[in-house]
Amino acid sequence: MNTSKLLSLVLLFITGAFATVEARQVNVSLQLAQLEKRGANPYVAIWVTKQQAIGEPQVHEPLVLLKEKTKWLRDLKQFWRKIARENRQQVDAITSATTARKSLRFSFELDSSWQSLSVEVVREHGKRELVTLTLASPSCVAGKKELVNVCFSID
């Protein structure tokens, strides 16, 4: 094979590799359930997941963590098991205080290799809820306990 053909194949491969991981804007909106009685603000965690090669473990990337006290972080059970227990510094970098607002909106720049988006909500003396959405196309999912709905769109 001559050098020009080899160079063309390499450029084609590189172009294809970059095209498959193109960055996109993902917008997430959450509508939190109304508490029946006065209580603590919810803890909210949002993360994305992608599957590696067959036989490799999934990769999780935290995007948002809203919390008050560290001692209740373990109540976000899935977030704790998949991300927070092993990556405390990474989690601290995305942490903000909880909020009393019932409607939350976030925007993230993500590449197309991420396959799912998870939202976990728990209240100190309340219920917990985990919703996972596939990032294939925009969608909304109704919640059952702590979430009214979770929606995402891609720009």
50: Cβ contacts below 8 Å, ≥ 6 apart = 58, 59, 113, 114, 115, 116
Continuous H helices in 21-64: none
pTM: 0.80
Domains present along the chain, CATH in parentheses = 23-154 (2.60.40)
- Give the containing element (helix H, strand E) for 131: strand 128-134
What percentage of the chain has pLDDT greater than the value 70?
83
Question: What letter would DSSP give residue 41?
Answer: P
10-15 long-range Cβ contacts below 8 angstroms, 24+ apart:
none
Rounded CA separation 58/114 (Å): 10
From first to last of the 155 residues of the chain, give the pLDDT tens digit: 555 554 444 444 554 444 456 889 999 999 998 876 666 788 999 999 998 777 777 899 999 999 887 777 788 999 988 888 888 778 888 888 887 778 999 999 999 899 999 999 998 767 899 999 999 889 999 999 999 999 999 98
